[in-house]
Every structure is written in C-alpha cells, then in structure tokens.
Structure 1
Amino acid sequence: EIATLRQGAWTDIYALAAVIDQAITGKTPVPSVSRVVSDTLVPLSELAANKYSTDFLKAIDTALSVRPEDRPQSVDEFRNLLGLKSNQSGNHSKPFTIKKNQSKKIFIFSSIVLLTFAVFIPYFIQDDTESTQTTNPTQHKPAVQKKKNYTPLNALNEILEKRDINHAVSISIKKAKVRIGLDPLQFSINSSRNGYVYLLMVGTNQSDFYLLFPNKIDSNNTIKADIPLNLPRPEWKMLADGPPGTNHFAIIVSDNQRDFSSAGLTGIDPFAKFPFQQAKLLYQNYSGIQPLFAGEAICPETSIDNCSNSYGATVFSIEEIQS
C-alpha cells in the first residue's frame, strides 16, 4: 500500500500484537496502512488502564506503532518489552550457530508461544493493584455493550479496509498543500476496472462529512479502466476555502452504482452531506457487513442474485494553509 512500509519481522509482530489487542478489546484493530492518513487507534495503555499491567499494555502499543522502525525489530526485543525473560541455565556450553531454515522455525515457534499467551492473558496478566481486591463470586455484573465510536475519519478508514484489494484504485494529487482563497483542489483518479466513482470528504474541522461526487451539477461518474479521470471538473471546481487544516478524502470505484440514503445522506446543493448527529446514531445502530458510508449497490431487478457489491478504494489528503 505504501512504498516506504517494508515487510519484515516487525510486520509479523504487528499482526501478533493485533491479536492481543483484539483479545482485550473484542475488536480488530485498524491496519497500519489505514492509520497513515489518520491514526484513530486508541492505545491499550489508555483503553485498558487498571485492567492489565501497565508495562504489558505499553509493550503492545509499541508493537502496534504505525511506523515499522518504531516497533520491536525481533521476537527477542518484543519478549523483553513484555517482561518475559528467557530461561538461562548455569552451564556454559560452547556457542552454536543457527542454520537459515532453523531461524525461521524458531521465529514461528516463538510466535505460536506468544499467540497462546495472548489467548490466556485475561486470566494471568493482571494489574498489581487488583491482587489486593476481593470480590464476591456469586455477584456478576451485567454485560454492557459499548457503543461504537463514530468519527467521520473512522468511516473513511472502514471504507478502505473493506475494499476489494484486487480492484486497484490510485490517486495523483496536483498540490498536497493549497493556499486558502487562491489554490484549487485538483487530482486525478485511475482504476484497474471500469466502474462508478464516488468522492467522499471529511473537512478541515474533522466533523463535516460530504459526498462531493457525483453531484447535482455533474452526475456522470463513470470511469474506464486505466484511463485517468480528472476531478473536480471545470463546472464544479473547488477552491481552498478554509479553515486551515487537512481535508481527508476517500475514493470509491464501484462495480455498480451505489445508494447512500441508508447512511442519512442529505442534499445541500450541489453536493450532499452526512449530518453528524444523524450519522452517529445510524452508525452506532448499524450491524451490516459492508461499511455504512460505502453505500449499497444499486442492482437491476433482472440481476439481483448476481449483483456485485464490490468496490475498490483509496484515501488521500490535501492540507489547506493560510496564503
């Protein structure tokens, strides 16, 4: 996804830490590539404070760092952060070398051990302060289902996460920084398939959430495979209008046209908007498989059974600065 994010042991450690995060929170953490644009992942050291060892939680947070160089670079380093000391015998035997294929087996074995550790962490990783507390085993607190946290940026990340990874969508931005009142916002979209383009934006205040394209001025949102589509078109060009900050965008290229009415989309002429409070309520009560703000495929009655709800997607951002 991102050219600078190389693969290595730190990639497996991120995946391992993600399993532990899910075991604690019950939710799959956001992939690191999605967090490059906007990091909305709440650290476990905050989310699960006073439930588990502080050092343990901070170790998992470190392993979930966005940048690979900020994560543990090996299983040994991760083990030390977790406070798991290797058993060392008193005998000093002669040094030995690990063959190339052996090192891979050892890494896999270590990962399995840590995964097993993750499964049982609710039972034996407890904060020191909890050992002094007594509870009545006959009393059980009712489970309270926590409402999903809604932010427009989370919505964009979910759209990216649920995309068809075999449908490549790329973006070329004319200017990543634009001056308020002077510079237009301009970019070019490329898709590996024919489809229909949808442009969503979260404004610089991080709360205004728009569907910019298609719109009432320009409803022709078709795109041909490998033929760039330049947006905005001249009839609805967009000038940086402030306030200063970063606009976040998501591009959807869908196999079929899509309907966003179930997400509370409201026309504001010529564009459309997801009003914050309404969007929040709909999001917190939504239980569908596809992201709510990705819309639903509009399928002809003759092909409902074979109608594709698939889409490709990408995200990008443009910063607005004072001129």
Structure 2
Amino acid sequence: MPFNTRISEFEIVGLIGEGGFGIVYLAWDTLLRRHVALKEYIPAALAARVAGSAEVTVRSQRHEDTFRAGLKSFINEAQLLAQFDHHSLVKVYRFWEANGTAYMVMPYYEGVTLKETLRQLDAPPTEAWLRTLLAPLIDALAVLHAAQCFHRDIAPDNIMLLKGSQRPLLLDFGAARRVIGDMTQALTVILKPGYAPVEQYAEVPSMKQGPWTDIYALAAVVYYAIEGKTPPASVGRLMGDTYAPLATTAAGRYSDAFLRAIDHALAVRPEDRPQDVRALAAELGIAPGGDGAAGHAGAGIEFLQPYTLREGETALPLPGAGAAAGSQGSAQSSGSSVGSPASSAKAAGSAAAGPAAAGSAAAGSAPARAAAGATPPAPRKRRTPLAALGAGVAIVAAVAAWLALRPTGAPPLVARHVNAPAAQPAAPATAQTTAPATTPTPASAAASLPPVPPAATTASPAPETTASASPTAAPPTAPTAPTAPANAAPQAAALAPYTPASEFERIVTLADPSIDVRTTLRSTTARIKKDFLQFKVTSSRAGRVYVFMVDPQGNYLMLLPNERDKANTIAAGQTLTLPRPSWPMLADAPAGPIHFLVIVSPEQRDFWDTGLHPGDVFADFPGHAQRAAAAQRAADYSPFAGKARCAKPAAGQPASCNKAFGAATFEIDVVGGNGS
C-alpha cells in the first residue's frame, strides 16, 4: 500500500518487510499515538491489490478456496496470539477483516534475527549465551503447548533478538502459509529442511505432531549455532542416519550434559525425544518454570557504558549524535528481512548482548558458571559484529521503553506523595512558580503528575517549580507497614483491578507519612534517542532506597539496587542523583508514560517472595509473578512494597524491627524526538 494510506485508525508510514504470504508495514496509530506493526494477509501467488486502492482480490477463481482457507488461518493465528501474554511471544493488539483481506496489529519491535546474528560471529556462541537464549524460548513454548498449540516453524530466521535487550522473540507462526502449502501440496513452502522433524513430512499414526515437534526444531537451532550448519534433513535420516552427535563433534567446547541434551532432542523418531519442554529444560539444566527474563526485562531502554561527567556537565551527552539511525526490524516478519546487523550491532554492544563476547553478563549466571570449565568454542570464519566485540561501544541491556532527562534550562519539578490519616482530607494542590515567565516549562507541571489518592497529600520544598500542597500532620504514632493477613486473597477481590501504575499509587497511601520521600525531575517529558534519565531522591529518614519503573508495555523493573550498583543507602536529608554514571539510560521507543515508584525503608526489604526475577542488570516482575502477587493484596497491604528483612535479635534481647517505609511516585512521558 502507498504511504499515508489509512486502514481503520492506522496510517501507513513505512515498509518493514514483505514475504510471499503477507506484508508488514510500519504504521501510526492515530488514536493511541504510537508506532505499531500492521501485518496484511496477501499471498502473492493467490491474490493481488487492485490498482490505486487498498482492496485485495483473488487472481483466479480456482484460487478462491485456498485464499479463503489461508485467510481463516491468518485470523485464527491472530486470535491465538492475542490470548497469550509472554515476553518471548509476539503480542497482538487487534485484528479485523476489510478490503477483501485481513489485518493484525502488533507492537513495533526492532531487532535482528538469530540467523543474522550468528552469521556475523567469528566463533560459535558460548554455552552460557545459548542457555540464556533457550530459557525464555523454552518457557514461551511451555505456554503455547499448555494450550495445545504448536509453533511448527522454529528456525534461526524466526527468532528475533530485540534491539537493546537482546531478548529472543519467537516469530511467524505462519499458519496461513502452512494451510496454503497443504492445499497446494507444496511442502517446500511450509517446511525448512534441517529444522523440520520427520513427522511434519507425512502425518502417519505412529508419528503424530506434538511438543516434541517444536523440541526437535529448537534443538536444530542450537545445532546450527554450534556447527554453523543445519543437521541432516530428518526425512533422509529415517532411511539412513548420518547424524554425527554433538557430544562427539563439539566435545570439550561445551559441557557433556548440554550436548547430550541437544542430541537427545534431535532423535529422528518422535518417541525417542523429550516429550515436553519441561523434560528438555531438565536435561539442559535450565530451571523449570523460569521465564528466562534474566537480562531481558523489557524492550526499548538503552543502558549505556559508564560515562564520566566532565567538569561543568550536569547530564550525559547523546552518544553518536548525527549518526544514522539504527536498523529496524519487526517481530512480524512473515518471511521478511529484519534489518541490517551493523546497526543492531551498534545498539547491542554489550557483552551481555554479544554471544561470543568475553566476560559477557550471561557468564555471571548459573548456566555460565556450570559451563565455566568448558574449552572455548573453536573459531568460525565470520565477520565480527560491533555488537559482540566493539570495546567502548554503547552497551544495551534489557529494559523497557526508557526515558531520561537532559537539562533544558527549566527549573526542576519536585513531586512528593506521602500518606496521611484517612480522616484528614488532602489539601488542595497549588502550583508555585519562581521561574521567569520566559523560561519554557511543560504545560501545567502539576497536572502532569499522577493523581494523588484521597488519603495522600503533597508537600512543597523550597526551590523552583513545585507541585505542592500544605502537608497534613502525621499521627502521633507512625504506622508501620502491616504484614499480609491470612485472608489477603479474599480481600483483594474488593480492591480496584490491578495495574502496576495504580499499585504504585496505592503503595504511597500505605506508606508512613513521617518518612518524607521527595523526587526532583528536570522535566516531565523525555525525547526518544535524545534525552537521558536524571532525577534526584531525598529522604527525611535514613534507610535504603528502592526504585521501580513500569513502561507503557507493562514491563515492571527494579532499577535500584541492580547488578551494577548495590549502593542503595541514603542518609537523612541526603540527596541521591540517579541513574548513576555506571548505568546511564537513554529514552527510547515506544512513546508513552513511564511510571516510577521510590521506596525508602529503614530496614532492608525483600521483594523476592513476590516473584522478582533476577537479571543481568535489572531484576523484573514477570507478568505471571505480578498476577500471583496481585491476588495477595489487601486493603492495608501490598506485596509489591516488599517485606522488611529484620535481623534476628541477640539472645536475651527484645526484637526490634521497623517495618515502616516512605514512598513517592512520579511519571515521565516519553515522546518523539521532536517532542511530540
């Protein structure tokens, strides 16, 4: 379709990729004001576009039934994907039929395929990197298989490594392609030799398809990563097996258990393979039920190499200013190209991101330690991507749609949210401005802040532009954060439906008002690829600082403490400037509001029981953990506020533990590079 074409509320602004069975466009959602990927069903061999319109018509009447069957399968695929919520599965926002065809709308992902990533390497990836790749993919397959759904087309070109996080995303279920291939008897259309197991070539009673079908293909992906070629075609192996076990050909380069697990998964006959992905995970030594989120907490936040501020600088400069934009790809490839490796390398210069990088962040993980004694893989003649080996190149770690703030000359905005006794209504908010009339500030800074719950007030410190209100007096005895009652789950039903952002605000109402936590921002907006995060935290009480963030896609991260920065203590009256130089962050797509929560606690707090998942840099709350914790909420308790970790008293000494905490929230809106 021509650019600027409108399909429902979506405006076509670019082409992401084109395959034999569909086209993926970059589109602008005019209602929600964000970029999305719009996939159109248009099998080139069966249909064509009517000149000068968006209408699609079948080329010949004899293709009508095949076209309609593929269309139905395309819609079924959209319905299937829409029911899943996993960070390694493509999300579907909506789908519909129009113009003689069908469309589905998905998030716009940027990245490069695993096939292209491997092709660029000088040597096979390490075992630690392969384990990190496999963990989220195995977990995603477990979600699919639990619903009796099978991918049936896993291959290196159907796995995308997302720009920034390098999180693997499983692409292109290709349901329409398989249906059309079946009806036209074109097995070459629907099967990839080397990755397709024998049961996909002919459905016979003794060789049914099932979880073991995807297991074979996933193991073939690992084989390709190690050997640089596909295993022998399965249909030929059934007649005379020429497969050379990895336990022999790759011995000494990877652990024996890892290689034997892959060999087992590549058994020719279905019954000889692991029968489900949990069994495969057990053989590989990957924790069952893990979502593989370590180091892959979200998409779009750029985590850069440590940068030392020069004298007089107050924010981090934009690296690579004026350079060409990085490569862009879409998880909805439908057989399309997904961007150039050179630009993704620029975005993924982290050792954590680079499969063959020495000292990668993945090497700090349990799988890496398990394989630490293995001999490094033999070199492979491939070009070296900057992503893997470029010293000093920007490191991109897993995080979500990020923002940050470069000084703009505007006075800082200070926001504080504290709890007040329910009997005392909040004082009306007022805006005090001491900045000159000519100083550009966001329209209605106070209105930009998230709404304060009825039981909360805001108080104003001295300086510049402030969202403020007269503070109410704290009760004589400061309340402490209660522990969860036994009947927490039934009470949760009476609460408002859970969302991370609303829970942030609720945590503020549960906080101790005597612990005054304030946050100071440079701006309430951040421009994609231009502005860096910078905010300050001050507390009236000494303790430990915990900072959380939720991006527009729902990725829920703990920013402080993190694997690079464990120093989260704060003295009474002290001001912390965050992020620190060891983990600077740059605003990136997608645009939208980012919500933050700051907790200050006199005691260390434990969030692991809530399901916080460790990562290479930042820990995160996966979706399933959020849902489980949300069910434990009560009117006076939030699991997301953590639990005070109190030291055991000495013998004969009374127990002493301050379970209270202070809290504040703020919000920053990530906007396009031009500020819109």
TM class, shorter-chain normalised?
0.5 to 0.7
Match of residue 186 from structure 1 = 534
Q: Specify the SS of the correspondent of 1:293.
A: helix
Q: Distance in 2 between matches of 1:280 and 1:187?
A: 30
Is the 1:263–1:293 Cα contact (8 Å) retained in structure 2?
A: yes
Q: Specify the SS of the correspondent of 1:235.
A: coil
Q: Distance in 1 between matches of 2:415 and 2:518?
A: 12
Is the 2:517–2:537 Cα contact (8 Å) retained in structure 1?
A: yes
Instruction: Report the alpha carbon displacement of residue 287 of structure 1 after superposing the two structures with TM.
Output: 4.7
Is the 2:415–2:520 Cα contact (8 Å) retained in structure 1?
A: no
Assess, with a 3 A threshold, how the Cα gap between structure 1 residues 183 and 144 changes in structure 2: closer, same or farther.
closer
Please list the CA deviations of residues 143-190 of structure 1 after superposition, one character each: whole Å capped at 9, or x if unmatched. 999475211012201210111101111111123211111111100111
Match of residue 671 from structure 2 = 321
Instruction: Report the alpha carbon displacement of residue 238 of structure 1 after superposing the two structures with TM.
Output: 1.2
Report the residue type matching 1:158 in the other structure: R
Is the 2:524–2:668 Cα contact (8 Å) retained in structure 1?
A: yes
Q: Distance in 1 between matches of 2:642 and 2:426?
A: 34
Q: Specify the SS of the correspondent of 2:530.
A: coil
The answer to whether structure 1 residue 213 and structure 2 residue 560 are counterparts is yes
Q: Distance in 2 between matches of 1:270 and 1:190?
A: 24
Instruction: Report the alpha carbon displacement of residue 273 of structure 1 after superposing the two structures with TM.
Output: 0.8
Q: Distance in 1 between matches of 2:491 and 2:569?
A: 45
Is the 2:492–2:635 Cα contact (8 Å) retained in structure 1?
A: no
Instruction: Report the alpha carbon displacement of residue 204 of structure 1 after superposing the two structures with TM.
Output: 2.4
The answer to whether structure 1 residue 302 and structure 2 residue 649 are counterparts is yes
Q: What are structure 2's unaligned runs of at least 5 residues?
A: 1-413, 417-423, 428-446, 457-489
Report the residue type matching 1:208 in the other structure: N
Q: Specify the SS of the correspondent of 2:557.
A: strand
Aligned counterparts, 1:279-294, within 5 A:
279-287=626-634, 289-294=636-641
Is the 1:152–1:209 Cα contact (8 Å) retained in structure 2?
A: yes
Is the 2:629–2:640 Cα contact (8 Å) retained in structure 1?
A: no
**Match 1:274 to one of 594, 606, 621:** 621
The answer to whether structure 1 residue 165 and structure 2 residue 513 are counterparts is yes
Instruction: Report the alpha carbon displacement of residue 274 of structure 1 after superposing the two structures with TM.
Output: 0.8
Q: Specify the SS of the correspondent of 2:582.
A: helix
Higher helix share: 1
Assess, with a 3 A threshold, how the Cα gap between structure 1 residues 310 and 189 changes in structure 2: closer, same or farther.
same
Is the 2:597–2:663 Cα contact (8 Å) retained in structure 1?
A: yes
Match of residue 502 from structure 2 = 154
Q: Tell me the TM-score normalized by structure 1.
A: 0.54
Assess, with a 3 A threshold, how the Cα gap between structure 1 residues 40 and 173 changes in structure 2: closer, same or farther.
closer
Q: What are structure 1's unaligned runs of at least 5 residues?
A: 4-10, 15-34, 42-63, 67-142
Report the residue type matching 1:276 in the other structure: G
Assess, with a 3 A threshold, how the Cα gap between structure 1 residues 176 and 146 changes in structure 2: closer, same or farther.
closer
Q: Specify the SS of the correspondent of 1:182.
A: coil
Aligned counterparts, 1:195-206, within 5 A:
195-205=543-553
Q: Distance in 2 between matches of 1:321 and 1:12?
A: 35
Is the 1:175–1:186 Cα contact (8 Å) retained in structure 2?
A: no
Q: Specify the SS of the correspondent of 1:234.
A: coil
Q: Distance in 2 between matches of 1:36 and 1:172?
A: 14
Match of residue 116 from structure 1 = none
Q: Specify the SS of the correspondent of 2:548.
A: strand
Is the 1:175–1:185 Cα contact (8 Å) retained in structure 2?
A: no
Assess, with a 3 A threshold, how the Cα gap between structure 1 residues 198 and 316 changes in structure 2: closer, same or farther.
same
The answer to whether structure 1 residue 249 and structure 2 residue 576 are counterparts is no
Q: Distance in 2 between matches of 1:289 and 1:144?
A: 10
Please list the CA deviations of residues 31-64 of structure 1 after superposition, one character each: whole Å capped at 9, or x if unmatched. xxxx9844699xxxxxxxxxxxxxxxxxxxxxx9
Report the residue type matching 2:649 in the other structure: T
Which structure has the larger Rg?
2
Aligned counterparts, 1:37-48, within 5 A:
37-38=449-450
Is the 2:510–2:636 Cα contact (8 Å) retained in structure 1?
A: no
Q: Distance in 1 between matches of 2:574 and 2:521?
A: 16
Report the residue type matching 1:320 in the other structure: V
Q: Tell me the TM-score normalized by structure 2.
A: 0.27
Is the 1:160–1:315 Cα contact (8 Å) retained in structure 2?
A: yes
Assess, with a 3 A threshold, how the Cα gap between structure 1 residues 297 and 288 changes in structure 2: closer, same or farther.
farther
Match of residue 177 from structure 1 = 525
**Structure 1 residue ranges (4+ consecutive) displaced by more than 3 angstroms after TM superposition:** 11-14, 35-41, 143-148, 285-290
| Identity level (%) | 34
Assess, with a 3 A threshold, how the Cα gap between structure 1 residues 40 and 217 changes in structure 2: closer, same or farther.
same
Report the residue type matching 2:655 in the other structure: D
Q: Specify the SS of the correspondent of 1:156.
A: helix
* Higher relative contact order, structure no. (Cα contacts within 8 Å, ≥ 6 residues apart): 1
Report the residue type matching 1:178 in the other structure: A
Is the 1:38–1:153 Cα contact (8 Å) retained in structure 2?
A: no
**Match 1:227 to one of 574, 578, 587:** 574
